[in-house]
Amino acid sequence: MRKSPVSKSNQKDIAKERIKILFKQAEEVFSENKFLANRYVTLARKIAMKVKIGIPLELKRRFCKHCYKYLMPGVNSRVRTRDGKVVISCFECKKFMRIVVKK
């Protein structure tokens, strides 16, 4: 017996909710277990890719684009402003993410 299929829009809504939950859990567990926080980010990315949705902008800034580690400012990342950009430095992979600030 097969389960009733879930519509694509419902799948995307469920995926968005799961991604938000995973990032919230990553934030909570980061101080005790960094590996688990990074695993939650990986799972959130896989869910987003599976259903072909983007990770929300406020969550996208919380992980490194190069090594996909969860970033906590002051612990494993640095946030600075420079020439109309926000520069986020990852201490895990030593790379930078530059985000343009609109006026």
Residue 69 CA to residue 38 CA, distance in Å, equals 5
What does DSSP assign to residue 81?
A: E
Whether the CB-CB separation of 26 and 47 falls below 8 Å is answered with no
pLDDT given for residue 98 in this prediction: 95
Length of the chain: 103
* Domain 8-100, second-level architecture: Up-down Bundle (1.20)
Can you give the residue ranges of every domain in the chain? 8-100
Reported as a single tens digit per residue, the pLDDT across 2-42 is 666 788 899 999 999 999 999 999 999 999 999 999 999 99
The encoded tokens of residue 96 equal 């930078």
For the cut 90, the answer to whether the pLDDT of residue 67 exceeds it is yes
Whether the CB-CB separation of 41 and 23 falls below 8 Å is answered with yes
pTM for the structure as a whole: 0.88
